[in-house]
Amino acid sequence: MMKYSKVTLLSVALGAFLLPVAAQTSSAPVAPGAPPATTAAPPSSATAPAAPASTGPADPNTINQQKNQQDRRIANGLANGSLTTQEADALEKQQKQLNEQERQMKAANGGTLTPADKAQLQQQQKALSNQIYQSKHNAAVRNTDPKSGIGKTEQTQQEHIAQGLKSGQLTAGESTHLENQEAKINSERANDLAANGDKLTPQEKAQIKQQQKQVSKQIYKDKHNNAKR
């Protein structure tokens, strides 16, 4: 009787020891009528996929930036003498034509440029950029140290035009118009010099100075109007 009791007590103690372990590995009982419990998914270490990068061309030089850069290069060429008045005039005319072409493209497409339009304009701007480089590095240079009063006035006017282009006070069209006036005066002066043994008569000097005075007034007027590049 004593031996049987010891065995029984040992079995009861062992069962009490194993009960908590069994409770941890078994699922909790579901109450009648309650929906079955769902097992939560383990947290995923994967992050959400990033948005696809833009596949469009990443061109930092927009058309407007290109135009402004061209104007600055022409202005610098005028200021340092690497561009003559005639060269600057021709380059500004090309820039003006590109501006008009861009305006027509936008008008034909509801105020915007198509990708084909942009590609064409950028290609033309590249060709103009090459032309600016060639004109600035050829043998034709403007006298940046004139001795005559007429030459010094011309230099001052060129510097004012160059500064107006850089600052945006002068549009390409205004600059082209001013350069045309300068070119006409230079052509007239060259003809007078050739006809008088490389000298100007007092009358010719007075006439050229009067024309230069009119150009100076026009430069000031164009730089202070409301037209912006």
Summarize pLDDT for 64-109 with one digit per residue, the tens.
Answer: 888 888 888 888 888 788 888 788 888 988 988 998 999 999 999 9
Q: Would you list the domain boundaries of the chain?
A: 63-223
Q: pLDDT value at position 13?
A: 47
Q: pLDDT value at position 145?
A: 64
Calpha distance 155→162 (Å, rounded): 11
* Residue ranges in the chain whose pLDDT is less than 70: 1-61, 141-145, 227-229
Task: Please state the pTM of the whole predicted model.
Answer: 0.54
Q: pLDDT value at position 142?
A: 66
Calpha distance 49→111 (Å, rounded): 37
Give which of 180, 155, 166 is closest to 93, Cα–Cα: 180
Find tokens 């994967």 and name the residue.
46
Q: Is 170 left (phi over 0), alpha (psi -120 to 50) or beta?
A: beta
Query: Are the beta carbons of 180 and 88 closer than 8 angstroms?
Result: no
Neighbouring C-beta atoms of residue 193, cutoff 10 Å:
13
Give kind and range of the element (H or E) at residue 130.
helix 115-136
Calpha distance 65→167 (Å, rounded): 14
